[in-house]
Structure 1
Amino acid sequence: MHPRLTLALTLIEAVAILAYAISGFIEARKRRLDAVGTFLVGFATAFGGGTVRDVLLEHRPFYWVEHQTYVIVLFVASLFAPFVLRTLSRLFSERALLVADAIGLGLFSISGTSIALEAGMPAFTATLMGVATGVFGGLIRDVLCNVVPLILRDSRPYATCAFAGCWLYLLLDHFDVDSVYSLIIATAFILIARLVTFKLNVRLPH
């Protein structure tokens, strides 16, 4: 993998983990979970999609095993859950939860697609890997919090935005657009598409 692409993916993964961890922490606070519950929800949200991807690609060790620093930061944050969650509740509203979730969706989906392509997966399979990376963290978070997963209860485009963005990434790659620019453009597309369709209340047909 090209060094610039490796660096871009590393930064994207870091931001995506932070965004999804925040959404997991906020959901944990809403459910009044203790420090253990907060850690489990934050961990599952941040690393669930990437772990599913690694299992499907037979990649070992898992991403969170190779990058234990992220896990340690999450663990320490969960020990101070009451303070952390009170702070987050002041800084992040429901709208911020939506934005954090959309950021994580875009970043994880495109990084998952890129990693699948590097592993030699065909285009369609790579897009499915990307979507799985993007949506499974939120899905596991909702299951752990005993709510119907967002992807199932909200008819506004969610996985659809990720799917379209992954194909945009493949299209840009096909036309030899710089890999870093392709990552940024496709990620921004998913983020904007998710927020715009939510704002306009666009819904998929039942």
Structure 2
Amino acid sequence: MHPRLTFALSVIEGLAIFAYAFSGFIEARRRRLDAVGTFLVALVTAFGGGTVRDVLLGHRPFYWVEHETYVIAIFAMSFVAPFVLRMASRVFSERALLVADAVGLGLFSISGTSIALDAGMPWFIAALMGVVTGVFGGVIRDVLCNEMPLILRDSRPYATCALVGCWLYLLLAWLAVDPVYSVIVATVFILVARLVTFKLDVRLPH
């Protein structure tokens, strides 16, 4: 993998981890969980998708095992997050959850696609791995919080945005666009597509 791409993906995965952890903190606050529950929800939200991807790709050790610093940071933040979020209104929390989810979706989907490509996966499988990486953290979070996963109860494009963005990344890679620019463009596309389709209330046909 190109050194610049490796660095870019490291930065992106770090941002994605904290974006999804933040969405986990918000959901835990809404459920009035204690620090232990908050940590667990944030942890599975941040690393659930990447862990499922690593299981499917046979990658060991898991990403969060290799990078325990992120786990320690989320653990420490779990004791502070409830007090910080307590000052936010319910409306703000819902908007923040949407934005954090969209950021994590974009960042994780493209990093997952790139990792799958690096593992020698064909394009279609690489795109699916990207969607799994971007979506499954939120799925596990919702299941733990006793909710139907967002991907199933909301007909507005979610996984679809991730899938299109992953294919955009693959297209840019095929066109030999600079890998770093390809990652940035595809990530921003997913983020903007998710927020715009939500704002305009675009829904997939039932």
Could you tell me the TM-score, scaled by structure 1's length? Answer: 0.96
Cα distance per residue 1:95-116 (max 9 Å; x no partner): 1211110000000000000000
Which letter does structure 2 place at the counterpart of 1:52?
V
Change (3 A) 1:81 1:182: closer
Aligned equivalent of 2:112: 112
Cα distance in 1 for partners of 2:81, 2:156 equals 32
Aligned equivalent of 2:160: 160
Which letter does structure 2 place at the counterpart of 1:19?
A
Once the two structures are TM-superposed, the CA of residue 20 in structure 1 deviates from its matched residue by 0.3
Cα distance per residue 1:105-159 (max 9 Å; x no partner): 0000000000000000000000000000000000000000001100000000000
Cα distance in 1 for partners of 2:40, 2:100 equals 18
Contact 1:34 1:81 in 2 (8 A): no
Change (3 A) 1:152 1:179: same
Alignment of 1:12-23 (within 5 A): 12-23=12-23
**Residue 147 of structure 1 pairs with residue 147 of structure 2:** yes
DSSP 3-state at the match of 2:121: coil
Question: Percent of aligned positions with the same letter in both sequences?
Answer: 80
Contact 1:17 1:47 in 2 (8 A): yes
Aligned equivalent of 1:38: 38
Aligned equivalent of 1:85: 85
Once the two structures are TM-superposed, the CA of residue 192 in structure 1 deviates from its matched residue by 0.6
Once the two structures are TM-superposed, the CA of residue 87 in structure 1 deviates from its matched residue by 5.3
Cα distance in 2 for partners of 1:184, 1:45 equals 22
Aligned equivalent of 2:195: 195
Contact 1:26 1:89 in 2 (8 A): no
Aligned equivalent of 2:76: 76
Once the two structures are TM-superposed, the CA of residue 81 in structure 1 deviates from its matched residue by 4.6
Contact 1:17 1:46 in 2 (8 A): yes
Aligned equivalent of 1:132: 132
DSSP 3-state at the match of 1:93: helix
Q: Structure 1: which 5+ runs fail to align?
A: none
Aligned equivalent of 2:61: 61
Q: CA RMSD in A?
A: 1.5
Aligned residues: 206
Cα distance per residue 1:150-191 (max 9 Å; x no partner): 000000000000000000000000000000000000000100
Which letter does structure 2 place at the counterpart of 1:86?
R
Aligned equivalent of 2:24: 24
Cα distance in 2 for partners of 1:178, 1:34 equals 45
Once the two structures are TM-superposed, the CA of residue 82 in structure 1 deviates from its matched residue by 3.4
Q: Structure 2: which 5+ runs fail to align?
A: none
Contact 1:131 1:162 in 2 (8 A): yes
DSSP 3-state at the match of 2:86: helix
Could you tell me the TM-score, scaled by structure 2's length? Answer: 0.96
Cα distance in 2 for partners of 1:66, 1:50 equals 12
